[in-house]
Amino acid sequence: MKKLILLLTFLLTSIVFAEESDKKKYNFYWNQVPVVCAAPEEIDRWANDNNFTPLTLSYGRKDGNPKGEVVYIVTYYLNKMNGETFATVTTPTDKDVCIVFRTFNMVLNPEIMDEYLNKRGLTL
Does residue 100 form part of some domain? yes
Does residue 30 form part of some domain? yes
Instruction: Render pLDDT for 5-59 as a digit per residue (tens, 0 to 9).
Output: 344 444 444 444 444 555 567 887 878 888 999 999 999 999 999 999 999 999 9
The strand pairing partners of 102, in sequence order, are 86
Does residue 12 form part of some domain? yes
Provide the domain limits for residue 73: 2-119
CB count in 10 Å sphere of residue 7? 21
Does residue 22 form part of some domain? yes
Confidence of residue 117 (pLDDT cuts 50, 70, 90): low
Higher pLDDT, 122 or 101: 101
Does residue 124 form part of some domain? no
Does residue 115 form part of some domain? yes
pTM, entire model: 0.70
The length of the chain, given as a count of residues: 124
Does residue 54 form part of some domain? yes
Candidates 80, 74, 87; CA nearest to 108 is 80
Does residue 26 form part of some domain? yes
Higher pLDDT, 15 or 93: 93
Number of domains present in the structure of the chain: 1
